Structure 1
Amino acid sequence: MDELPLDQVYTLLAVVDEGTFDAAAAALHVTPSAVSQRIKALEQRTGRVLLMRSKPVRPTDSGQVVVRFARQLALLERGARTELGLAAGPGERQGPTRLAIAVNADSLATWFLPSLDRVPQDPPICFELRREDEAHTTALLREGQVMAAVTSSPDPVAGCSVRSLGRARYLPVSSPEFEERHLSSGRLVDRLREAPAMFFDRRDELQDAFVRSLADDGTGIPAAGGFRHYVPTSEGFRDAIVAGLGWGLVPEAHALPLLRSGALTLLATDRTLDVPLFWQQWKLDSPALAAVAAAVAATAAEKLLPPE
C-alpha cells in the first residue's frame, strides 16, 4: 500500500469522531468540499471504501484500521510534542491529551473512577469513557474507538497488551419480601428459573451463569417464557432489586451495606460469582496511557479480589 498522507488520515478520524463531513470541516477549519476530497483521495489510495455514508458516518472494517492508526499516531505525536516542549502543530487541536477507555457499568459504579483521580495531570489528560459490557469492550478496541478497556477477556486484541486486574465478586440477592413470595419453597435453582429476574441488558449473562452453576444439568434461565426485567444502569439495577422487582447478581460493594441494613437478603450463603477483569491497551510508548494503566492497576489491587 502507498504511503498514507497524514492530512487525509487525520481527516478520516475527524469525520468519524464528529459524525458528519460538515462537522469535521468545522473542526478542521476547512471546507466540506476539502474534507470530501481528502476522504475520496484516501479511499483511492487504499483501494477500499473506508466510510459508510450514513448519519452519523461509520467506518468500514478497512476504515477501522485507518482510524485506529490515526488515533495511535495522534497520541504518539502529542506525547512527543509534550516531552519536547513544542507547541501544537498546524491543525492540531489544543487542549489536554484525550484518552478513550471502555469500561463496564459495574466497574464504573464501584471501583474504576477513583483510579482516574490518581493519574498525574501534568501534562493534563481528559478521559472519554465508553460504557460497555465487560465481555464486549474488546470490540471497541478492535474498532479503534478506544485506546484501552476493562474487559473479561484475557485474550489480547491484535496490537494490544493485557494484564490481570483481579476478580469482581457478585452476590445473588433479592428483597426479603421477594424471597418470601417467590423463593421460599422448593429447590432454589428451580425457583430462580421461574421467578422474575433482573438483567442489565440483553447481553447480560450473569444471572444465567449463576443458575447454571447451581444446576445439575448446567441449564440456565429459560430463554423463552422467562420473566426478565432489563434495567441498564448499575444503580438502577440494584434499586430495582431492593424494590422487589426481581432477583439478581449485585456487585459485592453495592450488596454488603444493603444486606447489613436488611434491605436485601442473600439467596445462597455458599455461592458467589466472580468475574475476572483484565486491562487491555494499545502497545504504544505513551506516557499518558502508561500513567492511566498504572493508576487503574493500583486501584484494582485495592478494590478487587486477587486474580486466581
Structure 2
Amino acid sequence: MLDYPALAALAAVVREGGFERAAAVLGVTPSAVSQRIRALEERVGTTLVVRCQPPKPTEAGTRLCAHVERVRLLEGELVAGLPVLGEPGRGNAAPVTLRVAVNADSLGSWFLPVMARFAERTGAFLDLVLDGEEHTAERLRSGEVLAAVTADPVPVPGCRMRLLGALRYVATASPGFLRRHAPQGVDAAALARAPVLRFDRRDGLQARWAQEVLGIPLDAPTHWVPSTQGFLDASLAGLGWALNPKRMADAHLAAGRLVELVPGRPLDVALHWQHARLGARLLDVLTHEVATEAKRSLSQPAEKQES
C-alpha cells in the first residue's frame, strides 16, 4: 500500500516550492516533511526529489506527484458528495483545487471568464501554472497539472484533447515608433534596427511573424517584457514593436494609438485543450467552460476535432 501522508508531503514540497512552505500547508514541521519523504524514498528505493532551490522531482517523484494530484481530485469530489467521509470535526469538506497550465496571452485575453464561471458553478478553485503555449503540454506530461491550454498538437498519453481555435495576433507598434524606426516603411532593414519586444528567451512569435510575412530572420535589439499587459503597454509607449493578441489590441488600433506593421497580416496560433482522462465532474465542467469561451473568443476552424 502507498503511504499517502508521505505522498502528500512529496507533492506539497514540489507544488509549494520548498520544505518550509509545504510544512506550513500540511500543518507539520519542515523536519517532519523531510522525514516522510526520506522514508518514502527508502521504501521505493530511489530519490524522489532533488534538494535544490526550488526542489525538483525526479522522474519517479514526478509520477508519484501526478498520482497524488489525481487522487486528491477524485477524493475531493467523493467527499463533497458524501460529507460523512470527511474528517471528523472538520465541518464541510475543503474546496477542491485543480492545477491547470495556461499561456499568459490566453490568461490575459480570454481565460479569466472561464475561471469565473467555473468557480461560480462548482465552488472549486484553480491553481494556474503559467508557461509558453508551446511548453504547457510538458506540464501535463509530467503530471504537474491535470489540464492545459497548449499549442502542442500531440496528444499527451492518458489525456483527452480538443482543438479550441486560434489565438490571433497582430504585429503592432505606436505611430511614433514607426515614424522613428521605419520612416520608409516596414522592411528587412527597418526590422533589423527597430527594437522588438519579447516575453522571454523562448518567445519566438515575433521571429515567426517576420519569417512568415516578410521572409526574413529576426535579429534585432530586444526589450524583455514578461507580461501580456506589459507587452501591450510597452507597445503603446513606443518602447518596441510586438505581436499582441488582436482582442486586446483592437480598441487601440481603432483609436489610432497602435498601427499594424503590415496591415492584414496577422499570425494565428492554434490552441488545444488537453486534460487527464479521469471521469471527474470538475474536469468535465471546466472543459465545457473552456470550450464555450473558446468558441466565443478564438478564431474558429471549419471543423473541430476531439480525441
TM-score (norm 2): 0.90
Aligned counterpart, 2:229: 235
Q: Does 1:135 align with 2:129?
A: no
Q: Distance in 1 between matches of 2:217 and 2:71?
A: 45
Q: CA deviation at 1:30?
A: 4.3
- Residue deviations 1:142-186 (CA, integer Å, cap 9, x gap): 333222111111112232221111101111111111112222326
Aligned counterpart, 1:271: 265
- Residue deviations 1:37-89 (CA, integer Å, cap 9, x gap): 32122212222100112243221122111101111111111112222343424
- Residue deviations 1:1-22 (CA, integer Å, cap 9, x gap): xx42223222211232344444
Aligned positions of 1:142-221 closer than 5 A: 142-185=141-184, 188-216=187-215, 219-221=216-218
Q: Report SS of the residue matched to 1:118.
A: helix
Q: Distance in 2 between matches of 1:167 and 1:295?
A: 17
Q: Distance in 1 between matches of 2:210 and 2:264?
A: 14
**Structure 1: stretches of 5+ with no match in the other structure:** none
Distance 1:299 1:53, change over 3 A: same
Aligned-CA RMSD value: 2.3
Q: Distance in 1 between matches of 2:50 and 2:258?
A: 48
TM-score (norm 1): 0.89
Distance 1:282 1:257, change over 3 A: same
Aligned counterpart, 1:252: 246
Q: Distance in 2 between matches of 1:136 and 1:91?
A: 42
Q: Distance in 1 between matches of 2:58 and 2:89?
A: 25
**Structure 2: stretches of 5+ with no match in the other structure:** 303-307
- Between the aligned residues of both structures, percent identity stands at 41
Q: CA deviation at 1:272?
A: 1.0
Distance 1:259 1:29, change over 3 A: closer
Q: Distance in 1 between matches of 2:108 and 2:29?
A: 42
Contact residue 88 and residue 94 of structure 1 kept, 8 A: yes
Distance 1:123 1:189, change over 3 A: same
Aligned positions of 1:1-308 closer than 5 A: 3-89=1-87, 94-119=93-118, 121=120, 123-185=122-184, 188-216=187-215, 219-222=216-219, 226-307=220-301
